[in-house]
A and B are shown apart, each in its own frame.
Chain A
Amino acid sequence: MADVNRGKRPLSPFMLGQYYKFQITSGMSIAHRLSGIFLVFGAILVVWWFSAAAAGPEAFARADGFLTSWFGIIFLLLPSLLAFWYHFLNGIRHLVWDMGKGLDIPTVYKTGYAVMAGTVILSLLTLIIAF
């Protein structure tokens, strides 16, 4: 009774999308970790911006000009803002869960969609403040 498929069966991560229906519960959990990792780069950019400002007007103009260029806005600033507000709002959602509240499935979906909508709204608002 040799298991001919041993080692050839698709395992958990490869099941996603193909055989496994994606839910916002797992998706948002993964996104929380990914946004947190991405925010490390955002935090480095903030430190770079402050260091440039501390170094003087020329260094500041270079750093600030890069971050507020079209390239900077699309590839650095907007993704950082989206990651910041997502991690911020979903983090509050996690803190509420830690208090044992809002853990039933309908509430989890409601707060999940609220976090997604809030992320987009707050990111756009922050961009408006910036420019």
Chain B
Amino acid sequence: MSQPSGFRTPRQRAQGLGAAKEGVSHWWASRLSSIALVPLGIMFIIPFADALGTSHAEVVELYAQPFHAVVAILFIGVTFLHTQQGLQVVIEDYLHDKTIRTAALLANIGFAWVVGLLGVFAVARIALAG
């Protein structure tokens, strides 16, 4: 093989998984969540900004509507998925000690699940219980 990729065995090249052993899967998943956040971000931020500074009754009335409740739940869910993906890249870039990096990566996943689910649960509670 005289191509630039000659340092890789043909099998490694066919698998296309590279040094990280997971190929472009993380990169691709981050693009998917970012694309989803374009329409979700617009649909979420406008009624949310409108609801800021209003009364509790008005907020409950807004998020009791199925459309706004589902948009808010999807926005919060995909936001924390995207946050986890983004912070993972930051951690991998700057934390080089293996123990600290692994701990940070695990904490990052835990943080995203806990705070993301808190948000989803809060919106669901407003939407269902009123």
Residues of A with C-beta under 8 A to B87: 37, 40
Q: Which of A37, A46, A54, A56 contacts B48 (CB 8 A)?
A: A46
How many residues on B have C-beta within 8 angstroms of the other chain's C-beta atoms? Answer: 38
* B interface majority secondary structure: helix
Query: Nearest-CB distance from A83 to chain B (Å)?
Result: 12
Assembly CA distance A77 to B48 (angstroms): 12
Residues of B with C-beta under 8 A to A68: 52-53
Against B, the Cβ 8 Å flags (1 = close, 0 = not) of A16-49 are: 0000000000000000010011011001101101
Residues of B with C-beta under 8 A to A33: 90
Query: Nearest-CB distance from A13 to chain B (Å)?
Result: 12
Contacting pair A56 B56 (CB below 8 A)? yes
CB closest residue in chain B, given A127:
B49
CB of B105 closer than 8 Å to a CB of A: no
CB closest residue in chain A, given B45:
A126
Residues of A with C-beta under 8 A to B86: 36
Residues of A with C-beta under 8 A to B34: 91, 94-95
Assembly CA distance A64 to B129 (angstroms): 20
Stretch at the interface among B6-14, B95-103, B120-128: B120-128
Against A, the Cβ 8 Å flags (1 = close, 0 = not) of B66-102 are: 0000001000100110010011001000000000000
Query: Nearest-CB distance from B44 to chain A (Å)?
Result: 9
With known contacts A46-B48, A50-B126, A51-B122, A131–B53 Cβ distance under 8 A: yes
Contacting pair A84 B52 (CB below 8 A)? no
Q: Which of B55, B83, B116, B122 contacts A39 (CB 8 A)?
A: B83
CB of B115 closer than 8 Å to a CB of A: yes
CB of A3 closer than 8 Å to a CB of B: no
Query: Nearest-CB distance from B62 to chain A (Å)?
Result: 10
Query: Nearest-CB distance from B55 to chain A (Å)?
Result: 8
Q: Which of B31, B56, B79, B80 contacts A61 (CB 8 A)?
A: B56
CB closest residue in chain B, given A67:
B52
Among B34, B52, B60, B118, chain A packs the most CB atoms within 10 A around the CB of B52
Contacting pair A46 B90 (CB below 8 A)? no
CB of A92 closer than 8 Å to a CB of B: yes
- What are the nearest 6 A-B pairs in CB distance? A47-B119, A50-B122, A57-B56, A54-B122, A130-B49, A54-B125
Q: Provide 14 A-B residue pairs closer than 8 Å at the C-beta atoms, listed in order of the A residue.
A: A47-B116, A50-B123, A51-B122, A54-B122, A60-B59, A64-B52, A77-B52, A84-B45, A88-B41, A91-B38, A92-B38, A94-B34, A130-B49, A130-B52
